[in-house]
Structure 1
Amino acid sequence: MPSGAAVCTVGGARAHPDGFGKQMNRNERRATSWAWVGRTCVLAAVLCAGAIGCQGGGKKPPRAREVMAPARDVPEVLRNTVGSQTSLIGMDPVVVSGYGLVVGLNGTGSRSVPLPIRTYMEREMTRLGVGREIGSLRDVSPSELLDDPNTAVVVVEAIIPPAAPQGAKFDVRVRAAPGTATTSLEGGTLYTTELRLGAPDPTGPVTAVLAHARGPIFINPFIDPASESGDGVVRTIGRVLNGGTFTGALNPALVLDTPSHSRARAIVDAVNTRFPQGTSRLPTARGISEDTIEIRTPDAYRENTAEFVQLLRYCPVDQTAVREWARRYVEALPENPELAGELSWALQAVGELAVPYLRKLYDYVEPIPRLAALRAGARLGDMTTRPHLEEVAMNGTPAQRVDAIRLLQDLGPDPKTERILADLLNSPQMDVRVAAYEALAARRSSLVTVRRFGEKFELATVPSSESMIFVTQQKAPRIVLFGEKPSVNRPVFVEAWDGRFMVSSQTPTDQVRVFYRDYRSGRITTAELEPDLVKLIEYMAHEPTPENPAPGLGFSYSEIVGALAQIVDDGGVDASFLPEVDVLALELQRGAQVPVVERPELSESGPLDSLAGVSEAATESDRAGAEGESDTKLSDEERERRRKRFVVPLTNPEAPPSKPPPNDG
């Protein structure tokens, strides 16, 4: 099935959308650009003919010939879908960026800023009120703020989700601006930054603001093997988890390959039948002209716009025979396993009427058609998929097990499923344990205990025979402790950050002593705690206030993650340490390699420009490929050894405190 016109990031490879670790064999490409070229040529020919005709006396102008869009490379069975007859415009992820200011650093910022960037920043800061008579920054000029060593000019980058509605949240990446001398963004906070389409250009034209970003910066505390810094940690790159907010006004649209009022009406009816209005007064699809249909993301898909785009793409146009199309799709699955991902989406787009046909493949002998059918059935809420998914979750390949668990989490409550997911918390495979936790958390299981520390992060604990600490690096900041009452070993000696943070205990019965010296004020804080890891995390996170003066260090999420990584690396806790895969960095790296084209703006007569975008399926392909390689080519011991390399190593102070004596028994 063809994908939407996407040119702002990588196109080409697509993931197998059934999510069971397979790569699709078809290289789906659109003829969208050729359709636009054809129509442009027709208009140019007509205009030229008119101009010649007005010149009196010459030869008759040649007749304009319409250049038809070439036929799409679409399998016969999928030619009734919306995506086979239209181009999806404005429904792809898009890279946005801007220059911003990070404040609250510990003298690690930079006053040296390239002149074009400095001029741009001073102009923008003045426009936003810095140095005016009112406001918190009334007593400081933009130039003085940029010269402060506790501030840094940064490049802020993000990817707006496909067909994102206003208010959609997303992660943003922050890096020190090139040409500056910033050495670390650790402990900083990003001031509100405007994000625009494409790469930042301080001397380029001003384009529309599509999003804003702000918030505390999370520094990845894990080693970058390519880093040349002393401890391998790249402190000039960070992110703000869920710190981006989409504020633009986009008008996604479908553009018909062949303009036709009757065809446009049929597509509008098909889309609105599959995605009814619900509580909204606006329809999902609204015809604008004979070749343009405006699309509005339904409220039910505000948090998962990528799924809506896929369902829209595979929605059947002919709504008079949807059962017949469901039958054809199911019959085509065993015969065309290379189309399994596309057919699975097509069956989901049919809706609940496809379920009776899907059930014929739930126990099919070949895994690819079977798993594609199970995915479609589970997404459509068919409870009879449960025993089949449970069997895959227990006995499938590593990638299949993870995806089956994710499908189980959205099915209705069932005691047996709860028991199976609880058992999977004890799996020797880390990815399976994490998937089981996420499924139980989504199902609001009593096995998952959650405590929130304001807007900083969420701390969850789950029972498991395999001790592990899992930390997220995207969206909601979260620390998950696997194990039965995780505790700090005694005796123990842990130090980090050049001796500014230490955890120690001299004997197996001593309390755990914590020492911290604040790098901003030099103030020293000490405490004695129980050897309970949860208590230690609570102490690190809590910031004393007049309302709650209990002692605490007030660490940020990034600092707590770094401290936990050091504690695990120094043997302070018997647990594996697993950071979440950094998907955003990969997406931005790929997105920077392809030229950017403006998003379309819909006028009353239809769309004027085509859209640049990121292929959501390609993102899934990279993710699936990475997970598949991790699970199929590496043993658990090798994966654990490699993950150990991603823990911040010990950095000894000049005069380290004495270490505890060895335990004699």
Structure 2
Amino acid sequence: MRPRCHQSVPSLLTLLGCVCLSAGCASTMLFRGETAEEALEKATEVDGGTPLIADIAYPWGLDYVKVEAIGLVMNLDGTGEDPPSSPQRAALLDEMSRRRVEKPNAILRNPDTALVLLRGYLPPGVQKGDKFDIEVRTPSRSQATSLRGGMVLPARMTELAVLGQQIRAGSVLAMGEGAILVDPSAGEDDTAATRGRILGGGVSKMDRNLGLRIGDDHQSAQMAILVAKAISDRFQTYDEGRKAGVAEAKTDEFVELQLHPRYKDNIGRFVRVVRSLPIRESNAEEQERLVLLEGQLLDPLTSARAALRLEAIGGDLASERLMAGLQSDDAEVRFYAAESLAYLDRTEAVGPLAEAARDEPAFRAHALTALSAMDDVVAYDALRSLLGSQSAETRYGAFRALWAMNPSDPMIRGEKMRGGFSYHVLDAGGDTMVHVTRSGRPELVLFGGEQAFELPMVLDAGADILINGLEGDEVTVSHFRSSKPTIKRTVTTSVDEVIRAIVEVGGDYPDVVQALQQAKREGSLKSRFQVDAIPRSGREYDPDEDEFADDTEAAEEEDAAYRVGTPLPDLFSNKK
């Protein structure tokens, strides 16, 4: 995919011929009759006359691409329907015919099936094979009463449009399938029972590269090359062992970006840092700007922007200015300085960021993401220490940050269970807690491995699995199957053993979540139970707020005075 050009543009090699790419070629005439100096003079001069990439170029590819499909759900317990005649039914029958499904109308008449609408969003920078969530719902006026226990068959997801009473689909951008997670608290007569999510059920079939579009007033082949060179001089990656810059000028108006690995969980920040780079700057001009930026860093009103620009410069000289910000009496200045130092992989960032993650909800998501980006054992130890916090949000946020840092770490690696969900048992101190996700990857984390249910109890795990703890001190997990023998497992009251038994008899992630949520609601699970306890967006920092030294949940509900200066990192985004 490329941005739409306003005119037909030959390749850069054709345009430039043997134009030299070094800074010494600045006097080469452009095909539009401009020198590089004349093009740069058009850029808005900021910070002492240094034009930045942000002055001439705009982000491209940071939007979400909506993909949709008409899907078929199987394995319902008589809660489906024979869908009425409609464009959706016609589209589904066409798809079944294309797949050579026999007797498709008979399948649709089965009450254990239902027609559903699938929707997902391909995020910025997604690559082929990456997974994302799928939203599932029945059409309006559907007679289906519940999607609980349903399994969506593979569906081709495209950008859809309705034209002439027919649904038109574009190219296949993703595939979607999997078990539907329905809110366990939804009753069968509740509309919420006809909606759900497939966590990680979408698989991208395309690469979405990032890029910069150069503004109309500054478009030229030479300008595109200057921008790409400025970026690649600062950021490089390794391709099959060879070092290469992350930027490539594709046309006179478009520069393609490869995501630098350190920013893999914070794409928006990467683009902001890239746009904070100078297009071209002498050593003397850089020294002068460093002094100016240090002063701006120490001012809370300009500290966020100054930190990004110092991060863009990088190196020891910029790090020294940022470390001066760590000594500030202002918490915002200390945080922004520490955040940028983390992306420069400086150990000095760890202490202030760990403190911010523990004590200040407005900074938590950014602090944890920055710590996860570091290749530093001190940062790893800081994240491990946060696993024992009293705040559920901090504990799970630290777990997710450790996973992003190194998913193969034996402490948090966990295991893959039936149905593809990840299961982790942590002995990290602190109160016992059970955490499940309803976005991103299907995942269950036990904070404390010695948790137990209190008897007596009876729980449902999906439509066919019963957990019976009414007699004695044991729990029997039974999977009742029509026309087949019942599968049973008898275990202790251990939460871990019951979870494993549900999976062993044939349950999957939605079944486990339903049982845990019911156990908490009915008092059989005394541990804290949390769903998607991730740092939230839209928070603001209040410098006058009382500090909560014990890091309780009360500290997570704050009044606000100043909005945090950077967007929510991808690591904690629910739109996956």
Separation of aligned partners in 2, 1:260 and 1:538 = 62
Query: Is 1:503 matched with 2:417?
Result: no
Out of 399, 403, 415, which is 1:451 matched to? 415
Native 8 Å contact 1:333 1:343 kept in 2: yes
Native 8 Å contact 1:268 1:287 kept in 2: yes
Query: Judging changes above 3 Å, is the alpha-carbon distance between structure 1 residues 367 and 72 closer, same or farther for their aligned structure 2 residues?
Result: farther
CA shift for structure 1 position 370: 1.6
Give the letter for the 1:126 counterpart: S
CA shift for structure 1 position 383: 0.9
Native 8 Å contact 1:175 1:237 kept in 2: yes
Query: Judging changes above 3 Å, is the alpha-carbon distance between structure 1 residues 208 and 326 closer, same or farther for their aligned structure 2 residues?
Result: farther
Give the letter for the 2:417 counterpart: F
Secondary structure in 2 matching 1:234: helix
Native 8 Å contact 2:393 2:533 kept in 1: no
CA shift for structure 1 position 361: 0.5
Query: Is 1:97 matched with 2:68?
Result: yes
With a CA cutoff of 8 Å and minimum separation of 6, indicate the structure with the bigger relative contact order. 1
CA shift for structure 1 position 564: 0.9
Out of 144, 160, 164, which is 2:106 matched to? 144
Q: Which aligned pairs between 1:229-628 and structure 2 lie closer than 5 A?
A: 229=187, 234-248=192-206, 250=208, 252-257=210-215, 258=217, 259-279=219-239, 284-297=246-259, 305-321=267-283, 322=286, 324-335=288-299, 337-353=300-316, 354-394=318-358, 396-401=359-364, 403-414=366-377, 418=381, 421-441=383-403, 442=405, 447-448=411-412, 450-463=414-427, 464-483=429-448, 485-489=450-454, 491-496=455-460, 501-507=466-472, 510-518=473-481, 524-542=486-504, 553-580=505-532, 623-625=537-539
Give the letter for the 2:420 counterpart: K
Query: Judging changes above 3 Å, is the alpha-carbon distance between structure 1 residues 581 and 426 closer, same or farther for their aligned structure 2 residues?
Result: closer
CA shift for structure 1 position 632: 10
Native 8 Å contact 2:467 2:475 kept in 1: no
Query: Judging changes above 3 Å, is the alpha-carbon distance between structure 1 residues 217 and 230 closer, same or farther for their aligned structure 2 residues?
Result: closer
Query: Is 1:162 matched with 2:114?
Result: no
Query: Judging changes above 3 Å, is the alpha-carbon distance between structure 1 residues 104 and 499 closer, same or farther for their aligned structure 2 residues?
Result: closer
Query: Judging changes above 3 Å, is the alpha-carbon distance between structure 1 residues 179 and 475 closer, same or farther for their aligned structure 2 residues?
Result: same
Native 8 Å contact 2:361 2:539 kept in 1: no
Alignment length (residue pairs): 506
Higher mean displacement: 88-97 or 362-371: 88-97
Give the letter for the 2:230 counterpart: A
Native 8 Å contact 2:176 2:202 kept in 1: yes
CA shift for structure 1 position 234: 1.8
Secondary structure in 2 matching 1:108: coil
> What corresponds to 1:50 in structure 2?
none
> What corresponds to 2:97 in structure 1?
126
CA shift for structure 1 position 167: 2.7
Separation of aligned partners in 1, 2:146 and 2:399 = 34
Query: Judging changes above 3 Å, is the alpha-carbon distance between structure 1 residues 526 and 200 closer, same or farther for their aligned structure 2 residues?
Result: farther
Separation of aligned partners in 1, 2:238 and 2:556 = 47
Separation of aligned partners in 2, 1:309 and 1:76 = 20
Q: Give structure 2 stretches of 5+ with no counterpart.
A: 8-41, 558-576
Query: Judging changes above 3 Å, is the alpha-carbon distance between structure 1 residues 393 and 178 closer, same or farther for their aligned structure 2 residues?
Result: closer
Higher mean displacement: 193-202 or 111-120: 193-202
Separation of aligned partners in 1, 2:281 and 2:103 = 63
Q: TM-score, normalised by structure 1?
A: 0.66
Separation of aligned partners in 1, 2:203 and 2:184 = 25
Separation of aligned partners in 2, 1:302 and 1:407 = 11
CA shift for structure 1 position 366: 1.1
Secondary structure in 2 matching 1:209: coil
Query: Judging changes above 3 Å, is the alpha-carbon distance between structure 1 residues 323 and 624 closer, same or farther for their aligned structure 2 residues?
Result: farther
Query: Judging changes above 3 Å, is the alpha-carbon distance between structure 1 residues 500 and 554 closer, same or farther for their aligned structure 2 residues?
Result: closer
CA shift for structure 1 position 283: 5.4
Secondary structure in 2 matching 1:514: strand
Give the letter for the 1:182 counterpart: A
Separation of aligned partners in 2, 1:243 and 1:73 = 45
Q: TM-score, normalised by structure 2?
A: 0.76
User: What are the Cα deviations for residues 283-340 of structure 1, in whole angstroms up to 9, with x where unaligned?
Assistant: 53333443333444457766664444333333332254455544433322233x3444
Higher mean displacement: 463-472 or 179-188: 179-188
Secondary structure in 1 matching 2:236: coil
Separation of aligned partners in 1, 2:193 and 2:375 = 44
User: What are the Cα deviations for residues 196-252 of structure 1, in whole angstroms up to 9, with x where unaligned?
Assistant: 2366777254423322222222223356xxxxx468682221222222222235565
> What corresponds to 1:590 in structure 2?
none
Out of 180, 194, 198, which is 1:217 matched to? 180
> What corresponds to 1:107 in structure 2?
78
Paired-residue identity, %: 23
> What corresponds to 2:13 in structure 1?
none
Q: Give structure 1 stretches of 5+ with no counterpart.
A: 6-31, 41-70, 131-136, 224-228, 543-552, 583-619, 641-665
Separation of aligned partners in 1, 2:371 and 2:498 = 34
Query: Judging changes above 3 Å, is the alpha-carbon distance between structure 1 residues 560 and 96 closer, same or farther for their aligned structure 2 residues?
Result: same
Separation of aligned partners in 2, 1:375 and 1:639 = 20
